[in-house]
């Protein structure tokens, strides 16, 4: 795939918010409902049923949420489009699904939602209290025992920078290699909530959830922070911690040098 839109195509950028619980993830699957399918079908109402294809900046898994996922839509170039029409009409035809189009804009020349992105930012939210969640169910990982976030941050620091993250990739990961560079990995607490914020150009399949599951062991004092470094250097998935559940993971934002949403 090239970065530029093919001839006869009008490319539009959209920023999306969704609750990932009802879906098999972003990408179309042989079975199950995907976010991609619903957005493309809603977009085809603007083209009298003609096909609209999409590419996303990040393929979220089943149960993973998004507060600012970016994708592009390729419309026939004779479709009458405007920022308001693309945002509101697609949003209307997505009802009652918990998917919202936050912004829409014509894509710059040569722009591609996936290949033009220079960073992705995720947040993983842990509810750290004895009582189970009621209103937050499905959007947090509930951990009853207190977490030591200072120890977690000490362990997280071993993961910053460029490394081979084989120990933190899913067995089904299709990336050509496990070399990635983490620009940020910070753990903070706000009352009963523990937030793990992570930013990089790209991530491996389940990388964030595997890192969070490992750091939770450190937070429980089951692991010394230095054991995170040992797991990383082992380049063996069996040496790292468990995969955290999808509930707490949310794709927050995607960065571009040429941001189509800025005036």
Answer for the pair 83, 91: CB distance below 8 angstroms, yes or no.
no
The residues, any chain, with a CB within 8 Å of residue 136's CB and separated by 6 or more, are: 127
Host H or E run for residue 200: strand 193-200
Q: Is 132 exposed, middle or buried (0-12, 13-18, 19+ CB in 10 A)?
A: exposed
Answer for the pair 73, 14: CB distance below 8 angstroms, yes or no.
yes
Count CA atoms closer than 13 A to 86's CA, side-chain side.
25
For residue 143, the cross-strand partners are 128
**Could you give the 3-state DSSP secondary structure of residue 185?**
strand
According to DSSP, the β-strands at 119-128 and 141-143 are parallel
Q: How many helices (H) and strands (E) does the chain have?
A: 5, 10
Kindly list the catalytic residues.
Answer: 61
Give the integer Cα–Cα distance in Å for 126 and 213. 11
Answer for the pair 63, 247: CB distance below 8 angstroms, yes or no.
yes
Helices assigned H by DSSP within the chain: 35-43, 83-94, 149-157, 207-219, 226-234
For residue 18, the cross-strand partners are 66, 99
Q: Is 122 annotated as a binding residue?
A: yes
- What residue numbers does the annotated binding site for substrate cover? 122
- What residue numbers does the annotated binding site cover? 122
């Amino acid at each position: 795939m090239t970065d530029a839109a093919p001839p006869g195509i009008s490319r539009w950028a959209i920023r999306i918010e969704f609750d990932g619980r009802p879906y098999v993830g972003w990408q179309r699957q042989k079975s199950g409902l995907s976010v991609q399918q619903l957005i493309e079908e809603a977009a085809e109402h603007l083209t009298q049923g003609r096909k609209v294809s999409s590419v996303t900046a990040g393929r979220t898994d089943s149960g993973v949420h998004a507060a600012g996922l970016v994708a592009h839509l390729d419309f026939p170039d004779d479709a009458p489009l405007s920022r308001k029409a693309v945002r509101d009409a697609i949003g209307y035809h997505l009802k009652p699904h918990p998917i919202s189009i936050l912004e829409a804009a014509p894509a710059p020349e040569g722009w591609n939602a996936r290949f033009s992105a220079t960073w992705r930012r995720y947040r993983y939210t842990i509810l750290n209290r004895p009582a189970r969640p009621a209103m937050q169910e499905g959007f947090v990982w509930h951990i009853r025992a207190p977490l030591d976030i200072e120890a977690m941050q000490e362990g997280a620091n071993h993961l910053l920078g460029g490394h081979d993250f084989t120990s933190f990739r899913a067995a089904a990961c299709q990336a050509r290699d496990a070399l990635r560079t983490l620009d940020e990995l910070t753990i903070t607490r706000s009352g009963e909530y523990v937030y793990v914020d992570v930013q990089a150009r790209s991530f491996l399949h389940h990388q964030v959830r595997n890192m969070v599951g490992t750091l939770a062991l450190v937070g429980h004092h089951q692991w010394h922070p230095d054991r995170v470094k040992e797991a990383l250097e082992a380049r063996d998935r069996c040496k790292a911690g468990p995969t955290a559940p999808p509930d707490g993971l949310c794709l927050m934002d995607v960065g571009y040098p040429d941001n189509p949403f800025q005036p």
